[in-house]
Structure 1
């Protein structure tokens, strides 16, 4: 479909921007936050943190920052700041041991990928065969026809399990990688691998997971050669992650707010330019994207998702047109029809629940149930039935703390913002 429209790929993809030159081009409207994050990674003795609404672009910002720092090192700037290939997430299923193993395994893999560059720049790097031994030989390959070691012997379908021999013990692997890091990055100025913990708001649902974050302080956050970036929504860094044990380890969060309307339209134009193969016919142009962006309370990821949905609909229904004004009218009609359809699914929401919803919208779509008095209730418990009705209609979502089963944060969903568009008479605030 995209090739028929003149694009080499989907220009409305809601996936995070990749850590490459193209991703650097696509990151529009984030110059201030990008400079601040790169400066903290290079120069601070605390680890930088990011806070912002889900879908605002935190993951993309971190990816581009890591890519730019790596390019600066390749171009001769002091300090080897090298991002790991993928971010980490902490959940209640993690233990300190399992998370540490995941991190150090990823670090060992990155040593392989970056060994040539580090050696060229005069860094002390481990022997390639030694890294390969730790990453590959500590596995038995279990097969239906018997066991094999390092791929030799046996047949049939294989799975893996840790080698229990003393030479490949867990403590041996950990101490070896720690030794590599210390020798390669003897000081903060020397740099380090950039490790990202994303979606930190997952910690809000489990006391055990929050305790895990504190536990990794000494085990991982203070390791020489690792520079951490923590990302989360809903004030999670300022609350759960800002315990006394983490003060002085984590920096004050960088607020990542929605980019302004002009930058949002520029970001869409840049995507069309980068993905175009020449004469392209984008189903959603800058003005249409701005319209969708504002309806959804300026959530970049959701706006791109609805642009993709509209493009699919227009292609399958044969509604691809060339004129920009006609495109805008078609987008407005499609969004209005979508809003009508979503509102039809809210029949169970009563007058009192709608009043809570409307008040929540006036607070930019986010609040804590502890603010119940602002919604006209005497107790938090009295407001709960209305929140439940709104949740069932998928107009809001709540973060629930498993330790006490209380809602900690309530936010309007993308569907909720579109229903609000209908309830507002198809006008955008």
Structure 2
């Protein structure tokens, strides 16, 4: 999405098209604690800032944009300052007063914010052919169930999703976008979801190498986590890109704290391998499981690829799913696995190995990668 948005914006700025498709800098996401109102405020403020940032290019492209000085003043004046006093200065023989109060103008209440920014959007993008700001709502799976995500999107239907001058891209894992977009109320608002395949496992090192080359500022700069080190932690964590990025960040911060910055690439590679093994060993040592049956279930789950359902109990040597439940509970208690229920049928569960679980397996497997 970032690459496509960049290319569309460049096409407009370089006058290859008069349609201004401009991605907002901020990527939005929601959790169960958020509301549509909080999302709307974030989006409208981001649009106002984008009006300032892209004012010149929009104006050069023939778009009717609001006066940027007015927009900037509206955004940066949360306080009003007033003053009064007598006839002398510096406090000699006079009195002076100065007051500061909150700005309660239309720009700083919810309805005024919406009215003002939607007016700017209609002015700048009077038709769909004129262009739009592109808003990305990412990580919808953070809402945990497609029912919650669907409710959120339905409440956005007549507001943000229909606002002129905005185009939306909704992203989420585990099929949550497809199930959420199936609501009758959203017909005509959302297009058919696109299924994006993950990066091929054998290409992950090459992808990281390309990104490092692109973002390198100095020719002699060395990344704390190089392509091969990233591939190592990616494989340890069962091909989970997000978790691999998290551990790469942790290692980089550890290097800084230990004042190891400035080493060469080979030194970083050796240090990373030792660091990730130490993390795995610590996690294994801190995992206290009573009895051996839970470990047997865990090892069998790893062999199955890291996920199963309670209905697979026979593959784990049990006569019923109820007989397997206590061992799954023991594994959950030490954060080796997690269970998630389907919102369509609460009886259907998926049991999956956690990132910590994969790290523990790495240590228990003699620091060999999962088969």
Partner in structure 2 of residue 67 of structure 1: 6
What is residue 91 of structure 1 aligned with on the other side? 31
Kept in 1: contact 2:149–2:180 (CA 8 A): no
* Partner Cα distance (2:103, 2:337) in 1: 44
Query: Unaligned 5+ residue runs, structure 1?
Result: 1-61, 144-151
| Aligned with 1:77 (options 3, 16, 33) | 16
Q: Are 2:356 and 1:415 equivalent residues in the alignment?
A: yes
Return the alpha-carbon distance in structure 2 between the equivalents of residues 412 and 185 of structure 1. 48
Query: For the residues of structure 2 that align with 1:408 and 1:364, how far apart are their CA atoms?
Result: 16
Q: Give 1:366-385 correspondences, 5 Å limit.
A: 366=307, 371-376=309-314, 383-385=324-326
What are the residue-to-residue correspondences of 1:4-403 with 2, within 5 Å? 62-78=1-17, 79-132=19-72, 134-136=74-76, 139-140=78-79, 153-154=98-99, 163=104, 170-204=110-144, 210-273=150-213, 274-275=215-216, 277-280=218-221, 284-310=225-251, 316=258, 324=266, 331-348=272-289, 350-362=291-303, 364-366=305-307, 371-376=309-314, 383-399=324-340
Equivalent position SS for 2:171:
strand
Return 249-258 or 326-335, whichever deviates more.
326-335
Give the total of aligned pairs.
350
Are the counterparts in 2 of residues 359 and 375 from structure 1 also a CA contact under 8 Å?
Answer: no
Aligned to 1:146: none
How far 1:286 moved relative to its partner? 3.3
Q: Return 261-270 or 116-125, whichever deviates more.
A: 261-270
Gaps of 5+ in 2: 83-96
Q: Distance in 2 between matches of 1:179 and 1:320?
A: 52
| Secondary structure, counterpart of 1:224 in structure 2 | coil
Equivalents in 2 of 1:126, 1:271: separation in Å?
37
Partners of 2:67 and 2:118 lie apart in 1 by 14
Report the Cα distance in structure 2 between the residues aligned to 1:297 and 1:275, rounded to whole angstroms. 28
Matched residue of 2:62: which SS?
coil
Q: Which residue of 2 aligns with 1:427?
A: 369
Deviation at 1:119, TM superposition (A): 0.9
Alignment deviations for residues 107-138 of structure 1 (CA, whole Å, 9 cap, x no partner):
2222222222111101122233553465456x
Please say if residues 94 and 209 of structure 1, whose CA atoms lie closer than 8 Å, have aligned partners that are also in contact. Answer: no
Q: Within 2, Cα distance between the matches of 1:314 and 1:110?
A: 36
8 Å CA contact 1:204, 1:240 repeated in 2:
no
How far apart in 1 are the matches of 2:25 and 2:327?
43
Q: TM-score, normalised by structure 1?
A: 0.66
Of 104-113 and 272-281, deviating more is: 272-281
Deviation at 1:262, TM superposition (A): 4.1
1:369-420 per-position Cα deviation (integer Å, ceiling 9, x unaligned)? xx32124377766655434322322223455789999886544322222222
Query: Quick one: distance in 2 between partners of 1:124 and 1:309?
Result: 47
Match of 2:22, SS state, is strand
Larger Cα-atom Rg: 2
- Calculate the aligned-residue CA RMSD, in Å: 4.0
Q: Give the superposition deviation at 1:175.
A: 3.0
